[in-house]
Each structure stands twice: as C-alpha cells, then as structure tokens.
Amino acid sequence: MTRVMILVGARPNLMKAAAILEAIAGYSQFTTRLVHTGQHYDDEMYKIFFQELRLPQPDIYLGVGAFSPLQQMGRILLALEPELMEWKPDLFVVVGDVNSTVMGALAANKVGVPLAHVEAGLRSFDRLMPEEFNRILTDHLADFLFTTSRDADDNLLREGIPAERIFFVGNVMVDTLLRFRVVAHSRAAWQEYNLSPAGYALLTLHRPSNVDDAASLKQMVSLLAEIDARLPVIFPIHPRTRARLQDSGLMAQLDTLSTVITTPPLGYLAFVSLMSEARVVLTDSGGIQEETTVLGIPCLTLRENTERPVTIHEGTNRLVGTNPDKILAVLDELLSSPTSRSGQIPELWDGRAAQRIVEILART
C-alpha cells in the first residue's frame, strides 16, 4: 500500500481535496489520511463544506485555532511533525497557497517525505501578497508539481525547477465545480433573497490589501454604495472582513444601503448557486476567478494583479484594480452590454484533473 497524507487548512483547500480524495478512492493501492490544520476553524468557514462536498471527517485535526499568522504557522509545524513521524507516509500532498500549505510543505521536507503540490506554478509577481511567498516556497520544496495552466509550467521552468517534476493536469477546483454544478444550481439560492437570475451582483472581499487598511476598506464601502444604485448586491462577509467593518464603524454605513444584502459566509452549494446566475461577480479571490470562467459569468477582480492570467486571456475575468472610478466604468460598460455568456474554458479544465494526478502517482 502507498500511504498518502493530504493536508487541508482553509476553505479553498476543501474543494481541491474533495476532487483528489474522490479520484484516489478508485485505486486500491493507496491508503489515505486527511489532516486538517484548523487554520479555518469555525463552522461557517469549514464544517458545512465537509458535509456538502461529501468529504470524510479528518483523520487528524491539529486544531491550531485563532492565533496570528506566524503563531498559526509555528503551531502547524509543531503539530505535524509527530503525525508524519508516526504514520510515515510515502507521499504528502498539499493544495493551494495558504499558510497551511507552505507549513505542510516545510514539515514534509524536514522529515524526508516526498511532497506533491497541487495548483503549482501560479504567480502574481507581487511580493507584497503573502500567498506569493507560500507558492514559491512550496513549489521549490515539491517533488511533484501539478499545474492548472501552461503559464504555470513556464513560471516553474523559469525558476529552474526541472521539467520532469512538472505535470500539467488541469484544475481540481473545476473538477469539484463540475461535479456539484447541477445540484448547486437546483438550490436556486437567489430566490431566498428575492433576487432574479442575471439581476444582481455577487461580491466577495477578504484580501488584506482591501480590508485591513482602513482607507482601502472605506473606499470599498463607498464603491458598494455606487453599485447599490445600479443593481442589487449580495455580499457574503468573511469573518475577518466583518470584524474590520465593525471595528471601523463601516458596518453601520453598509447596513443603510437599500439593496445590499449582507450574509454570513455561505456553504459551497449556496454560493455556487448564486454565482451561476449573477449578472456579475466582483471579487478579490483567486478561485472565484476560475469558477466564473467555467460558469461563463463576468468577473471583475478587485486587485492590481492576478496569479491566474488564463482567466483573463481565455475566460470571463477582467482585472479592474481598486480605483472606484475605473471599477464603475467597467461595470457600467458590462451592464450596458447583452447578457450573453462569453469566454472559453481553458485547456484541461474538463473535470478530470484529479484523475490525471492519481494516474501519475500510481505509475511512479
């Protein structure tokens, strides 16, 4: 038996791990252990995802909890070492680019366990973004680098990573989206908020550059007031974002907007349901850029850069930055155009990425 330990820590990891676990279950030669660091630790941020994505409960829960990023990272390292030493996996798998990802990669490297990184090679080329360091460090520790797009392969090769370690397999996030797309759409979550298909915007906002700085957050709330005058907005608020809004007094201002609907974080199925019928999605998330591309929904990314350029070159994503005037100009252009879907689905985003990953692992 080949022992495979798979690490998750934050909500985006769960969608990716779900695809891998489903694919690997079809191979009798593998036995798996799922480890959850507890980086996202409350029910809103992860428990419902285990239920909806049909994920098994973690074999190991590290429970690192509510600490500063550096404290969380240190606690992950300390908690992982004895688990790795006891079970002695033949392969350690990390996904994405969160703090749990890079700490899992470092722990595996230090105890001599081969490492696979799923979603390797993504680069924003912005060293002010914490996730950029996580991506780079994880990739340079990995023995197997599974990429979502050809540009990711190019990034890795430029950094000197040997070509024999790099495998272009497609996007496991898309595997899960396609697997649950029909059941999510059937939820018709827009009806719960008295919204109409193609008659509302969906907003997510959580990146430190947008919410941790008081001036930036105020600018985002002012932008939301302008969007509110154009069409209804549904805004599931990340716990960190809600805390910043409350601390700055901006939550009260947000509550005065007549057609802005604020909610706690939503489950996977409800969120995909809302996304699938939105007129436009505004976000600073990485994965949502990919999901909107597959769903054919226009996406305005509220950032100055993206590590997923394929969603711009081939998909429905537009990088609009954080200047409200520019964002509103692009939004008005979009709202004045027909609602027909545009863009194309990138290469190998076909729902079989995890299967390709497991096939590669099975023959090595």
Annotated catalytic residue within 117, 206, 238, 313? 206
Q: Does 206 qualify as catalytic in the annotation?
A: yes
Give exposure, 160-174, as e/b (b: 16+ Cβ within 10 Å): ebeeebbbbbbbbbb
Structure tokens at 202: 């969906």
Q: CA-CA distance, 360 to 116, in Å (whole number)? A: 11
**Burial grade of 158 (CB within 10 A; 0-12, 13-18, 19 or more):** exposed
Cα angle, residue 306 at apex, residues 174 and 94 outer, rounded to 5°? 50
Give 325: exposed, middle or buried? Use CB within 10 Å, 0-12, 13-18, 19+.
exposed
> Two tokens at 338?
């027909």
What's the token pair of residue 326?
């520019």
DSSP 29-63: TEEEEEEE--SS-SIIIIIHHHHHTTPPPPSEE--
Contact 130, 162 (CB under 8 A): no
Exposed e or buried b per residue across 186-220, where buried means at least 16 C-beta atoms within 10 angstroms of its C-beta: ebebbeeeebeeeebbbbbbbbebbbeeeeebebb
Q: How many Å apart are CA 161 and CA 145, to the nearest integer?
A: 9
Element (H, E) at 94: strand 91-95
- What is the rounded CA–CA span in Å between residue 342 and residue 312? 11
Task: Name the 3-class secondary structure at 221.
Answer: helix
Instruction: Provide the angle, in degrees to the nearest 10, between the axes of the packed helices 287-295 and 268-276.
Output: 50
Please tell me the distance from the alpha carbon of residue 140 to that of residue 109, in angstroms, as a whole number.
Answer: 10
Nearest partner of 349 among 147, 97, 53, 142, judged by Cα: 147
Residues with a known catalytic role: 206
